Amino acid sequence: MNLEVVILAAGQGTRMKSRISKVLHCLSGKPLLACVIESALTFHQAIVHVIVGHGGEQVQKQLADYKVNWITQEKQLGTGHAVAQALPALKEDSDVLILYGDVPLTPVETLKTLLTKSGDDSIGLLTVRLENPFGYGRIIRDAAGVVQAIVEEKDASPEQREIREVNTGILAVPAKWLQKWLPELSANNTQGEFYLTDIISMAVADGVVVETVTAKQEEEVRGVNSRQQLAELERWHQKQLANQLMASGITLADPDRIDIRGNLRVGQDTCIDINAIFEGNVTVGENVSIGPNVLIKNSVIADHVVIHANSIIEGSEISKHCQVGPFARIRPGTHLSDQAKIGNFVETKKAVIGTGSKVNHLSYVGDALIGSGVNIGAGTITCNYDGANKHLTQIKDGVFVGSNTALVAPITVGKNATIGAGSTVSQNIEENVLVVTRGQKRILKDWERPKKRTSNYTETD
């Protein structure tokens, strides 16, 4: 049987009070709709259709990398009408899984179970039991417990409103039944809309069994309609991720103060202090210490690394036994070799720092290749940008750079050279020499500023 997934994402989301489409608001750093699409795409052979309406162009543009079939619902006339927009694209012999673009956390395993309920004479319905079911459609069963219908809150009797089992809207249905039932839907209800839920009573009338799967937790099927609901779901989701980390052998100073906005892998016996944020794809090794208020994005951190408070690491690789921070900024393209140290108020960018080398404080090292055993004194900068182009600084093994030194690239400093404090160096330095440049001020007239050219170092700060 072929599988097709229909994701409803056409709602206006007026309660979000936003110019951005509701389904583009982010949970764990990812648009709500992207979370649902990625779940659907785990069914590798599935064809995924996304129904968009309000702000549809904006949605398609932001999520253009996903291989889905975009379908526009010109008028928002209810969930049944929305699914009907996909009918021309559905194959008659397929099973259809109906999801919602603002319900981001339904486990794939639950969806797999639901799909087993869809057959020639049955459909699958995902339900959940709530302490407070206000606003949800109630599941109506007969004396034998067989589902007979779904009644919406506004159409329910007082007795029906006491029912705690409610509809999530998530269904697994053979396409042949959708093709029969959807054209028969009526908007004769208090909302004047075509309810998808009405197909449940149609199924019963046609002798099709409605088999249910019950979600384990309410949050797994909770939709987002306001910023408050989004914040509540975010905190619940982050708490689940924190619990998973701790169960795998990670120490969290406070499980309520960690944010994972992407994919995070962490080795055993790593300790993470409060307010750590992980974005994109991050791998952290074993026995790592991460201090408070640290941001790590799209980076790899090896074993036995210490990252002190208030440091930012992005697009970089930190090797074993390194130290970073506090208040360090490690920018994209940085690679710290084993036992390297980046201290407080140091910024690096596109820099390779060799084994055991140190940039301890108040320095900028960019577009640089630093050898092993190098000491960079406080206040040192690599002057990599001439106003138009970037240039490379190479510092060989064993070099000592005194404080407040400016290295004007392109430049190479030979092995074991020593540069005295306060120097400005603009020429290559030989091995095993001492260089001190504290000359008198010079003014060059008729000097022409460099013009932009194409090279390996053309990006701006």
Query: What are the pLDDT digits (tens) for 97-154?
Result: 999 999 999 999 999 999 999 998 999 999 999 999 998 999 999 999 999 999 988 8
pLDDT at 365 over 80: yes
Which is higher by pLDDT, 13 or 196? 196
Which tokens belong to 160? 């029906």
Long-range (24+ apart) CB contacts under 8 A made by 352-357 are: 354/397
Long-range (24+ apart) CB contacts under 8 A made by 112-119 are: 113/213, 114/170, 114/171, 114/172, 114/213, 115/3, 115/172, 117/172, 117/211, 117/212, 117/213, 118/172, 118/173, 118/174, 119/174
Contact 99, 114 (CB under 8 A): no
Average pLDDT, the chain: 94
Q: Which of 49, 237, 321, 361 is catalytic?
A: 361
Q: Position 212: which residue type?
A: T
Contact 367, 460 (CB under 8 A): no
- DSSP helix/strand/coil, 326: coil
pLDDT at 54 over 90: no
Domain residue ranges of the chain, discontinuous segments joined by +: 2-221, 227-435
Pairing outcome for strands 94-100 and 147-151: unpaired
Q: Which pLDDT does position 1 carry in this prediction?
A: 66
Residue 361 falls in the annotated catalytic set? yes
Pairing outcome for strands 147-151 and 138-141: antiparallel
Domain over 2-221 is classified CATH 3.30.499.10 = no
pLDDT at 443 over 70: no
Which tokens belong to 358? 């140190």
User: Model confidence at 272, in pLDDT bands (50, 70, 90)?
Assistant: very high
User: Model confidence at 11, in pLDDT bands (50, 70, 90)?
Assistant: confident
- Name residue 167's beta-bridge partners: 127
* 10 closest CA partner among 67, 69, 83: 83
Q: Which pLDDT does position 452 carry in this prediction?
A: 79
Q: Which pLDDT does position 55 carry in this prediction?
A: 80
CATH class entry, domain 227-435: mainly beta
Contact 196, 98 (CB under 8 A): yes
